[in-house]
């Protein structure tokens, strides 16, 4: 299982809560030859890249001035240093190696086999074209740069190498839990209300101890108080949302997650809050 970073959210007027981002499948970063590129040694024929989904954040300060400029041949984030019609692709993120290849036509989120399948500004990550970015909070690159998509968030640290990629939001509802796959959990992926569908880990049940958001079953978030995290039901403090997970069963009440949309909270008793 991939290691993840945690974010701090708070329950309005009560205590600070911790929520952790969901693990994702181990992706390959595809080079121009179609083989995965290792983060520490240049052995693309055998290596597999992993990823880290970092904390949700409201920050959107844009990319650092030197972001991507330390790569060998070209800047993969800004897609500069290549001729027109070419894409700057990453060949080794740990060693900051890059090269120019003829750009493809596949857009952000489209299927790919090699980096040459994707448009300028994109790489091939887990066989999907992904937009490169400069770290948590650099949502500007995800949403306005080459190959960008509205609502995308910069939250994947590829192999913990400092090379970041953007992820696409899901069209799901926290309270209705309407992910395309019935058992998947619609979780809060960004404090701006960005949501994503994730597959819960085996044995995920309500009230269990958890570390990551996908440790919890459908309709539940991994929320911590005083150093202990448990799976707690999502709810709507405004009482305006509809769905099976919008209300708390008595004697529990709904407390809002500070920084999240007004209708996002979790159920708890006064002692839990």
What are the tens digits of pLDDT across the range 101-134? 999 999 998 999 988 999 888 888 878 898 888 8
Residues β-bridged to residue 249 = none
Write out the two tokens for 249. 């069963």
Task: Quote the pLDDT of residue 17.
Answer: 34
Cβ–Cβ < 8 Å for 217, 200:
yes
Cβ–Cβ < 8 Å for 220, 229:
no
Q: Which residues contact 108 (CB under 8 A, 6 or more apart)?
A: 119, 122, 129, 130, 131, 147, 148, 149, 152, 166, 168
Write out the two tokens for 159. 């192999």
256-267 mean pLDDT: 89
Distance CA 224, CA 234 (A): 13
61-68 mean pLDDT: 58
194-217 mean pLDDT: 84
Write out the two tokens for 57. 């954040």
What are the tens digits of pLDDT across the range 210-259? 877 778 999 999 887 666 788 999 999 999 999 999 999 999 999 988 78
What's 158's DSSP letter?
Answer: E
91-109 mean pLDDT: 90
Task: Quote the pLDDT of residue 193.
Answer: 81
Domain boundaries, given as residue ranges, for the chain? 6-21+171-268, 31-168
What are the tens digits of pLDDT across the range 134-166? 886 778 888 887 788 888 888 777 776 778 888
Q: Which residues contact 149 (CB under 8 A, 6 or more apart)?
A: 107, 108, 109, 131, 142, 143, 166, 168
Distance CA 75, CA 61 (A): 19
- Calculate the average pLDDT of the chain: 74
pTM of the model: 0.59
pLDDT at 185 over 70: yes
H or E segment to which residue 198 belongs: strand 195-198
Of 61, 81, 62, 84, residue with least CA distance to 70: 81
Say which residue, 17 or 211, is predicted with more confidence: 211
87-113 mean pLDDT: 90
Task: Quote the pLDDT of residue 58.
Answer: 45
Distance CA 89, CA 147 (A): 13
Say which residue, 27 or 198, is predicted with more confidence: 198
Of 194, 235, 187, residue with least CA distance to 212: 187
Question: How far is the CA of 124 from the CAs of 28, 57, 60, 167, in angstroms?
Answer: 8, 25, 24, 13
């Amino acid at each position: 299982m991939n290691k993840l970073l945690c974010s701090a959210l708070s329950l309005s007027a009560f205590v600070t809560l911790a929520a952790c981002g969901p693990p994702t499948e181990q992706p390959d970063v595809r080079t121009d030859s179609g083989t995965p590129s290792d983060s520490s040694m240049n052995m693309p024929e055998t290596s597999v890249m992993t990823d880290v989904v970092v904390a949700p954040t409201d920050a959107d300060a844009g990319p650092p001035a030197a972001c991507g400029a330390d790569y060998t041949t070209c800047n993969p984030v800004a897609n500069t240093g290549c001729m027109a019609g070419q894409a700057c692709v990453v060949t080794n993120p740990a060693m900051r190696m890059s090269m120019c290849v003829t750009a493809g036509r596949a857009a952000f989120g489209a299927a790919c086999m090699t980096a040459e399948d994707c448009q300028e500004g994109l790489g091939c990550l887990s066989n999907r074209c992904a937009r490169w970015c400069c770290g948590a909070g650099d949502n500007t690159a995800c949403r306005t740069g080459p190959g960008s998509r509205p609502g995308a968030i910069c939250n994947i640290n590829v192999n913990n190498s400092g090379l970041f990629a953007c992820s696409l939001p899901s069209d799901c509802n926290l309270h209705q839990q309407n992910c395309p796959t019935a058992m998947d959990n619609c979780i809060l992926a960004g404090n701006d209300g960005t949501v994503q569908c994730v597959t819960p880990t085996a044995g995920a049940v309500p009230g269990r101890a958890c570390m990551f958001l996908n440790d919890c079953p459908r309709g539940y978030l991994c929320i911590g108080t005083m150093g202990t995290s448990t799976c707690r039901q999502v709810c709507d403090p405004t009482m305006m949302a509809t769905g099976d997970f919008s209300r708390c069963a008595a004697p529990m009440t709904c407390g809002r997650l500070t920084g999240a949309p007004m209708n996002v909270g979790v159920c708890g008793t006064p002692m839990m809050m």
